[in-house]
Structure 1
Amino acid sequence: MDELNVEEKLKIVSGFLLESPPGEINDVYNGMLTFSSSSAYGILMGDDEEFDRGIKQALRQYNTEQYVTATLPGQETKVIVSKFGQIEEDLYLDPKSQQTFKFDHLLHTVTDVQPYTVDETTEHLRSTIETAISDYITDHYPDGVSTVYYTDGTYTVAIVDDKFNPQNLWNGKWRSTWVISPDSDELKGTIKVNVHYYEDGNVQLNSSKEIEITASASSEDPAERAAAYVKSINKAEEDYQSALNESYLDLSENTFKGLRRALPLTRHKIDWDKVLNYKIGQELATKATIE
């Protein structure tokens, strides 16, 4: 271990960071820092510039893949930090406010907010889709955030909703991405669900599904086309949620039951009241013997 070079250390540490459950990467990062100052794990954490750049790159990858959100000064709504809005290394676009901003992936802070000139020929449909998606998010996601981007002839809808409950030892995240081709009205979607439950154990759910659908957007009116896109997204996500619920209901009622006997070897159900009485009787008998 002492002979690991910087690249090998970075590969190990980056692996830990990139596999962090939703909402827990700071705990993982701080945990490794704690180990580095008090145990043999310290050999994994370097202090040179190359190692520091590698850590920042891993954090950048994690945050953009996990759709972390940021709030720009003077804005009420949040924007998703993703590769679809990435202009430079740490420079991102908020299409709604038409501003760029720098995002610190370690501190999650926003700086250097600047105005950005958008392409007016594509902005009308983009903003119309964003308005329709925002209404959908309000109706279906308690803490949801969405951002709509235009890149290379397509519109990309990014959706994220987090539910972090560390005091009860669980965290969860929903992410969905929809790439809309306006020429064919085709939508290519990816839905990802991650849940981590860690009370007296460590259980994780990692589910994903790729979907291809065609919206019924016959009208050239941007509002009607946006409504058709959102209607298709709504149905696809509801179908996925229903399928997920059904699979876990089947898991509870059938799969788990198959892992153990329905009855003990006697083929009779246990009378727990009698067991309790037996236990009390044994304790009284033991007490009488001692006295």
Structure 2
Amino acid sequence: MESFAELPVEEKFKIVSGFLLESPPGEVNEVYNDLKVLMGDEEEFERGIKPALQQHNNEQYIVATLPEKNNKVIVSKYGQIGEIEDDLYLDPRSQQTFKFEHVRHTVTDVQPYPVDSAIEPLRAAIDTAIIEYVTDHYPNGVSSVYSTDDNSTLSITIVDNKYNPHNLWNGRWRSTWVISPESNELKGTIKVNVHYFEDGNVQLNASKEIEITASPNSEEPADKAKAYAKSISNAEDEFQGSLNESYIDLSENTFKGLRRALPLTRHKLDWDKILNYKIGQELANKAT
């Protein structure tokens, strides 16, 4: 079997790109730096890894901050303008475009991008309603609402990150909702990723696809937006509740069925003490 160093460059980038795309929440920089050392050639690595880094940032809803208004916007395919190589994104809230540097997460070349769309009043109303919902339910949540070119659908993206590396865990919540205003149908995808790495490496990846229909009181943008936000809130509350129930069941039933909570002695094993006994025994054997 060939070693990593002997592989063709294309095969190397295929491998390291896979590692990068599977980076746990908040840890992509550490993975990126380790992969750079593994590849050796820094300039070649930065050129070759860029497509995977762009894909990662788009899929993981990395948050960009526009400098002048300090406005936060989610980097995703929904706000992408032109080809992915252009690194050009839209902030529909401030009606501006910007270039996003995917390695350092910096924003440059901010330009006005006036929106002339019949669906803009509804998009803006939904944006306001979702901001209120996210503020109430997510400690560090960010949201963006986009309309399509043909005005047939609107897309809502929500992300909240909780990074706690000092306590050895990081987590991310992402949800996406695509709305058809004519039918008031919402199609959503919720994804939760948590990485716990105290004395081990445990990852939680949970996701759910949801289809619901909202019932607005009227066709007014504010009424429709309020109904959409309420439907999203109910669906996400239900998903979070089901997660909580699942982990209670895992703790109380599933894990107990896999192994004993304590050995037969009913006392936890002190592995450090056992190691010291073993070292002491080895020294005693050498002395004799």
Give the TM-score range, shorter chain: 0.7 to 0.9
**% same residue:** 69
Q: Once the two structures are superposed, what CA deviation does each residue of 1:59-116 show, in whole Å capped at 9, x if it has no partner?
A: 1000010000011122233100110000033000000000000000001000000000
55 and 254 in structure 1: CA distance in 2 versus 1, 3 angstrom threshold:
same
Find the partner of 2:101 among 84, 101, 104: 104
Number of the residue aligned with 2:50: 56
In structure 2, what residue type is equivalent to 1:155?
L
Return the alpha-carbon distance in structure 1 between the equivalents of residues 117 and 186 of structure 2: 23
Q: Report the Cα offset of residue 185 of structure 1.
A: 0.4
Structure 2: runs of 5 or more not aligned: 269-288
Number of the residue aligned with 2:176: 177
Contact persistence 1:185–1:216 (CA under 8 A): yes
Alignment of 1:250-289 (within 5 A): 250-261=249-260, 270=266
Determine if the alignment matches structure 1 residue 137 to structure 2 residue 134: yes
Alignment of 1:28-177 (within 5 A): 28-36=31-39, 42=40, 47-48=43-44, 52-88=46-82, 89-151=86-148, 152=150, 153-177=152-176
Number of the residue aligned with 1:18: 21
Contact persistence 1:21–1:194 (CA under 8 A): yes
Question: TM-score, normalized by length of structure 1?
Answer: 0.85
Return the alpha-carbon distance in structure 2 between the equivalents of residues 264 and 29 of structure 1: 41
Return the alpha-carbon distance in structure 2 between the equivalents of residues 30 and 46 of structure 1: 10
Instruction: Please state whether the residue corresponding to 1:120 is helix, strand or coil.
Output: coil
Q: How many residues align?
A: 260
Q: Report the Cα offset of residue 168 of structure 1.
A: 1.3
Return the alpha-carbon distance in structure 1 between the equivalents of residues 94 and 220 of structure 2: 23
In structure 2, what residue type is equivalent to 1:5?
P
Structure 1: runs of 5 or more not aligned: 37-41, 273-291
Return the alpha-carbon distance in structure 2 between the equivalents of residues 232 and 252 of structure 1: 31
Q: Report the Cα offset of residue 263 of structure 1.
A: 8.0
Return the alpha-carbon distance in structure 2 between the equivalents of residues 125 and 30 of structure 1: 43
Return the alpha-carbon distance in structure 1 between the equivalents of residues 177 and 194 of structure 2: 21
Determine if the alignment matches structure 1 residue 225 to structure 2 residue 224: yes
Return the alpha-carbon distance in structure 1 between the equivalents of residues 261 and 80 of structure 2: 55
Contact persistence 1:65–1:82 (CA under 8 A): yes
Contact persistence 1:6–1:46 (CA under 8 A): no
Name the larger-Rg structure. 1
Return the alpha-carbon distance in structure 1 between the equivalents of residues 133 and 266 of structure 2: 51
Instruction: Please state whether the residue corresponding to 1:21 is helix, strand or coil.
Output: coil
Contact persistence 2:154–2:180 (CA under 8 A): yes
13 and 271 in structure 1: CA distance in 2 versus 1, 3 angstrom threshold:
closer
Number of the residue aligned with 1:242: 241
Number of the residue aligned with 2:204: 205
In structure 1, what residue type is equivalent to 2:123?
R
Determine if the alignment matches structure 1 residue 6 to structure 2 residue 9: yes
In structure 1, what residue type is equivalent to 2:159?
V
Number of the residue aligned with 1:191: 190
Contact persistence 2:171–2:193 (CA under 8 A): yes
Instruction: Please state whether the residue corresponding to 2:99 is helix, strand or coil.
Output: strand
Question: TM-score, normalized by length of structure 2?
Answer: 0.86
Of the structure 1 ranges 255-264 and 215-224, higher mean CA displacement relative to structure 2 is found in 255-264
Contact persistence 2:191–2:205 (CA under 8 A): yes
Q: Report the Cα offset of residue 46 of structure 1.
A: 6.7
